[in-house]
Amino acid sequence: MTEKMSRSLSRGLLHTVIIFITLLWLIPTIGVLVTSFRPAQDVANSGWWTVFESIFSSVRLTLRNYEVVLSRLGIGRAFLNSFLITLPATLIPLGIALFAAYALAWMRFFARTFVFMIIIALLVVPLQMTFIPILQIFNKSSLAGTFPGIWLAHSGYGLPLAIYMLYNFISGLPKELFDSAAIDGAPPFYIFLYIVLPLSVPIIASLTIFQFLWVWNDLLVALIYLGGTPDVAPITVQISSLVGSYGQDWELLTAAVFISIVPSLAVFFGLQRYFVRGILAGSIKE
């Protein structure tokens, strides 16, 4: 066998392996997408892939499943709740973290190292350590089962990583900028507003996506602080309860799942560049 032949053979093998793995990754999601458009009777009696076998004869597709989950199974309400929970729970911690990260990065003060060490330590504290005491306080102050309660909780849980990542970025800005602004007599707040904020836009974008996806996809925090009340339940909680009550109605479950992943996929594919940059900033420190 010539070298050229063996090389093109191994190229062929490479492409085959890559395409095989990629398909493996895609197939489960395609199955869900297809199933969500099939009538209940077909879903229960034949695999979703049979749609492709009979593509030229009679494929029966329907939007009814979406209609049912949106109106009758509370997914419409839950979808709205998810937005009402996610938007403030993304923006509040980000704003608070920006102030803190700026102070930690460019101000020298007593106990600075100590404050920073607490934040580093809190990065890995399991949320489980906080549920019981906070829920008890929430119950007494009637914050349990309300949006403000979960906004605050998510703010607390998102802060350590947000401060840490913002600190890494803001402390890396060129020192001369801060020095010359200080010489010009700019007060700290002006420096924050007109230098730090505009320059931090890329990392702010990354963090917004992080926190958005984290809150949008969260199940546990919502279960703890919102309970199962359908009025306030986000889509993750609603789907997990549908799994209990409609476990075999795949056409409904798949439609609900597809509705829940549309916003996160949109954010993800629209802003993937920022997302990747954020991951790299957070995980590998250069």
Contact call for residues 68 and 254 (beta carbons, < 8 A): no
CB of 58 to another protein, least distance (A): 18
Q: Is 46 in the site for another protein (CB under 8 A)?
A: yes
Site for another protein contains 217 (CB under 8 A)? yes
Which residues within the stretch 70-89 sit at the binding site for another protein (CB under 8 A)?
none
- The answer to the question of residue 103 lying near another protein (CB under 8 A) is yes
Among 63, 80, 118, 201, binds another protein (CB under 8 A): 118
Contact in structure between 88 and 252 (CB atoms under 8 Å): no
Shortest distance (Å) from residue 276 CB to another protein: 6
Part in contact with another protein (CB under 8 A); list of ranges 67-75, 121-129, 139-147, 173-181: 121-129
Out of 9, 61, 80, 132, the residue judged to bind another protein by CB under 8 A: 132
For residue 60, what are the contacts with CB-CB under 8 A and spacing of at least 6?
Answer: 38, 39, 42
Q: Which is nearer to another protein, 122 or 177 (CB)?
A: 122
The piece of 66-74, 96-104, 175-183, 198-206 that touches another protein (CB under 8 A) is: 96-104
Query: Which CB atom, from 228 or from 231, has the smaller least distance to another protein?
Result: 228
Q: Is 246 exposed, middle or buried (0-12, 13-18, 19+ CB in 10 A)?
A: middle
Q: Which of residues 186-215 bind another protein (CB under 8 A)?
A: 188, 192, 213
Nearer to another protein, 118 or 201 (CB): 118
Burial 185-215 (b: 16+ CB within 10 A, else e): ebeeeebbeebbeeebeebbbbbbbbbbbbb
Query: Half-sphere exposure of 148 toward its Cβ, with a 13 Å CA cutoff?
Result: 4
Question: How far apart, in whole angstroms, are the C-alpha atoms of residue 237 and residue 145?
Answer: 13
CA 190 to chain centre: 32
Task: Check if the beta carbon of residue 158 is closer than 8 Å to that of residue 171.
Answer: no
Site string for another protein, 15-44 (x = CB under 8 A): x-xx--xx--xxxxx-xx--x-------xx
> Is residue 107 part of the contact set for another protein (CB under 8 A)?
yes
Are 86 and 232 within 8 A, CB to CB? no
Q: Which residue has the tokens 């102050």?
A: 141
Binding part of the chain for another protein, among 67-75, 97-105, 174-182, 197-205 by CB under 8 A, reads 97-105
Q: How far apart are CA 175 and CA 276, in angstroms?
A: 27
Contact with another protein (CB under 8 A) among 61, 123, 193, 201: 123
Amino acid (one-letter) located at 24: L
Q: Which of 9, 63, 125, 182 binds another protein (CB under 8 A)?
A: 125
* Shortest spacing between CB 40 and another protein, in angstroms: 12
Give the footprint of another protein on residues 134-193 (CB under 8 A): 134, 152-153, 155-157, 159-160, 163, 188, 192
